């Protein structure tokens, strides 16, 4: 069964859910995990692609956009459609809805920031997973 973790940025925490996702990706990749980042749109996917290149000086995260990047060379993929390819290790969901394919992943990460719409959608997803019996963990990220 998929392990689900919500990471919630506190009111005074710096950055947003996209910046937090970069930190989470770096940690997962350094532990030898493959990561699929799911977004709402092409523009969000491109925004995240740019952030992963620049979010921390001196870091390198081998990543690319789904459909453009070779999965054999890029253990971190970013997409927004209903297709996550053959990925099944770690899913970071930045979309407003539950991805249809989430249950095939070993781990699902739901990063939330202080934006009221993001929080409301996150609560809906939390109830969705809880009502289906998934084990849920919540991590508060304080400043």
Query: What is the mean pLDDT of each successive set of 10 residues along the chain, which is 143 residues long?
Result: 95 85 96 98 96 86 94 96 94 97 98 94 98 97 80
Query: Looking at residue 101, what is its pLDDT?
Result: 97
In CATH terms, 3-141 corresponds, of 3.40.50.10110, 3.20.20.70, 3.40.50.2300, 3.40.50.410, to 3.40.50.10110
DSSP, collapsed to helix, strand or coil, labels residue 110 as: strand
Query: Looking at residue 2, what is its pLDDT?
Result: 97
Q: Are 111 and 121 in contact (CB under 8 A)?
A: no
Q: CB neighbours of 11 closer than 8 A, spacing ≥ 6?
A: 114
Query: Looking at residue 142, what is its pLDDT?
Result: 81
Residue 133, phi then psi, degrees to nearest 5: 85, 15
Q: Are 136 and 2 in contact (CB under 8 A)?
A: no
Q: How much is the pTM?
A: 0.95
Instruction: Report which of 28, 50, 1 is spatially closest to residue 111, judged by C-alpha positions.
Output: 28
Domain boundaries, the chain: 3-141
């Amino acid at each position: 069964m998929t392990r689900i973790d919500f990471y919630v940025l506190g009111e005074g925490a710096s950055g947003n859910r996209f910046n937090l996702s970069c930190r989470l990706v770096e940690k997962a990749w350094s532990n030898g995990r493959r990561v699929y980042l799911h977004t709402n749109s092409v523009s969000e996917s491109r925004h995240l692609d740019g952030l992963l290149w620049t979010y921390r000086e001196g870091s390198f995260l081998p990543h690319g956009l789904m459909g453009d990047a070779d999965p054999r060379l890029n253990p971190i993929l970013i997409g927004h459609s209903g297709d996550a390819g053959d990925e099944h290790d770690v899913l970071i969901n930045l979309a407003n809805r539950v991805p249809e394919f989430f249950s095939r992943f070993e781990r699902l990460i739901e990063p939330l920031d202080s934006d009221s719409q993001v929080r409301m959608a996150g609560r809906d997803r939390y109830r969705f997973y809880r009502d289906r019996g998934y084990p849920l963990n919540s991590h508060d990220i304080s400043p």
